[in-house]
Amino acid sequence: MTQFKEKAGKDRENASVGLYDYPVLMAADILLYRATHVPVGEDQKQHLELSRDIAQKFNNDFGDSIRSHGFGEVFFPQPEPLITGPATRVMSLRDGTKKMSKSDPSDNSRINLTDDADTIAQKIRKAKTDPEPLPSEEKGLEGRPEADNLVGIYAALSGRPKSDVLGEFGGGQFSNFKNALVELCVAKLSPIASEMKRLVADPGQVDSILIDGADRARAIAAETMKATKDIVGFVRKS
């Protein structure tokens, strides 16, 4: 798993079992609900591949039992990734070669969903760019990770392809484009921050939503676990 190698770094022997087992835990979260499609970012695709491998292994090893219990040829579907839009991997505002992450020590590297309008504007205007104007075609973004990232963010939030964004802003300076990006980010993200603040102010509502969601998820999970134990041959002693 490339993510384990990246996060463990040179001190791989001392990496925690939590980091090592994370992809298996993610696979369990997916397979427990027998999901067929999972929305993920580009960097999570390899974890979904592991989920598919585990599902196939289970179906192959217990095929006869799966069929005898009336589940047809497979019990666990092989989940397909749903990777959509022009910004499948949003990168850092300070380094276009690294993904945007809440673990980055610099708060200016990311836009938090709790950021207010002034904070969003400040981060976008300080975002790293290069001295060249924006290109008019997507090919011109090659080798320009910061420009590509900002254009991708604009495209994702506006629901337009990168080519359309470059058709509008290509040839212009980053300052003008950043002003437009600030307006778009604030318009799209500020309502989310406002709703989060509203919910935080009413913890009782949040708790009730979590309890309801857990109850519904538990019902699905219980059916999957019972069927899995039956297929494998675990029998509860009376």
Report how far Cα 89 is from the mean position of its chain's Cα atoms: 8
Gap between the Cα atoms of 102 and 106, Å rounded: 9
Strand ranges, E, within the chain: 37-39, 80-82
Which two tokens mark 229? 């134990």
| 12 close to 59: Cβ distance less than 8 angstroms | no
**Residue 76 phi/psi, 5° resolution?**
-95, 120
Annotated catalytic residue, options 7, 45, 128, 188? 7
Catalytic, 99? Answer yes
Q: Which of 227, 229, 235, 234 is nearest to 72 (CA)?
A: 227
End-to-end CA distance of the chain: 42
Residue 161, number of CB atoms within 10 A of its CB: 13
Catalytic, 7? Answer yes
Go through 135-144 and write b for each residue having 16 or more CB atoms within 10 A of its CB, e for each that does not.
beebebbeeb
Annotated catalytic residue, options 5, 57, 98, 102? 102
Annotated catalytic residue, options 45, 99, 128, 188? 99
| 127 close to 109: Cβ distance less than 8 angstroms | no
Q: Mind telling me the catalytic residues?
A: 7, 99, 102
